[in-house]
Amino acid sequence: MQVIGLCRFSYPAIGGFQVEHETIEERIAYLYVEARMEERFRLLETVALPCLREQTDQDFDLIMVIGDSLPQVHRDRLQDLIADIPQIRLHAEPPRRHREVMKDLLNGARRKPGQPCLQFRFDDDDAVATEFVERLRDTAKDCAKLFAKSASAAIDFNRGYVAEFGPDGISAAPTVRPYFTAALGMHVAAGSRKTIMNFAHHRIHHHMPSVTITDVPMWVRSHNRFNDSRQDGAAAVDVAPLTGKQEAEFATVFGLRAAKVRAAFKPR
């Protein structure tokens, strides 16, 4: 069964953001400001990409959507970072309605639309466990009879960490959050054109059956200066620096290495 992921990297969509702008030009200017882009690249390099690179099941596809207005210097840097991850396909798109363009890309990525597939969203500043793709596929097999009765079904790995990244390394707090974007997947039936982008992630269970897996941490949600969902007075989370043992666990489970985080975020 094909597994398809979708990641937006500073794509200037029309809609799709909680931080609003009057014009698309204002949105582009906001997204590409130097301080923001530098943080996004550091998080992409040290948080998001390592877990994709180290997936135990390498049979997946990931579409990384960028704006066709992304400055060439940033596009070159991005190409260099993903060059050794063949599963990632970079796709440049002009500004379009957010859900419309994402649905089109997911449906266009299906190699065999007449067969079911699995889909997931992936934020460029989050991480999933290195066994995420493997467990997503295994869960779909375990639930085959249930999923056969519905056009779509959600698979929610709801245990993980909220974390902050900086020159001192990684600070985190364990948590259980239902239907977070990170490590949330969707089974799509053969012939259906529904996608995971048809639904708000926190309400996906209002529209389809869902299966919750809560045995072990499966994701790391990054809190940083430019979280779109945390710009309007969101409450802080009480995180604590990882111990040496926890740093080793983060490296094993998520591919996140505290030493690389410290080096990347060291003041320059």
Describe the strand order of the beta sheet including 169-176 as a list of residue ranges.
Answer: 127-128, 219-222, 159-166, 169-176, 240-241
- CA 97 → CA 65, 91, 102, 122, distances in Å? 13, 16, 9, 19
Question: By C-alpha distance, which of 140, 149, 148, 172 is closest to 60?
Answer: 140
User: In this predicted model, what pLDDT tens digit does every residue of 57-90 receive, in sequence order?
Assistant: 999 999 999 999 999 999 999 999 999 999 999 9
Indicate the pTM of the whole model: 0.92
The residue type of 166 is G
pLDDT at 268: 76
Query: What are the residues whose beta carbons fall under 8 Å from the beta carbon of 188, sequence distance 6 or more?
Result: 116, 117, 118, 119, 151, 152, 194, 195, 196
> Rounded to whole angstroms, how far apart are CA atoms 201 and 210?
12
User: In this predicted model, what pLDDT tens digit does every residue of 186-232 receive, in sequence order?
Assistant: 999 999 999 999 999 999 999 999 999 999 999 999 997 655 444 44
Mean pLDDT of 224-242: 68
User: In this predicted model, what pLDDT tens digit does every residue of 127-166 receive, in sequence order?
Assistant: 999 999 999 999 999 999 999 999 999 999 999 999 999 9
Mean pLDDT of 103-128: 97
Percentage of the chain exceeding pLDDT 90: 89
Mean pLDDT of 1-25: 85
Q: Are strands 117-121 and 2-8 parallel, antiparallel or unpaired?
A: parallel
Contact 5, 63 (CB under 8 A): yes
Sign for the CA dihedral angle at 243, 249, 254, 260 comes to: positive
pLDDT confidence bin for 267, thresholds 50/70/90: confident
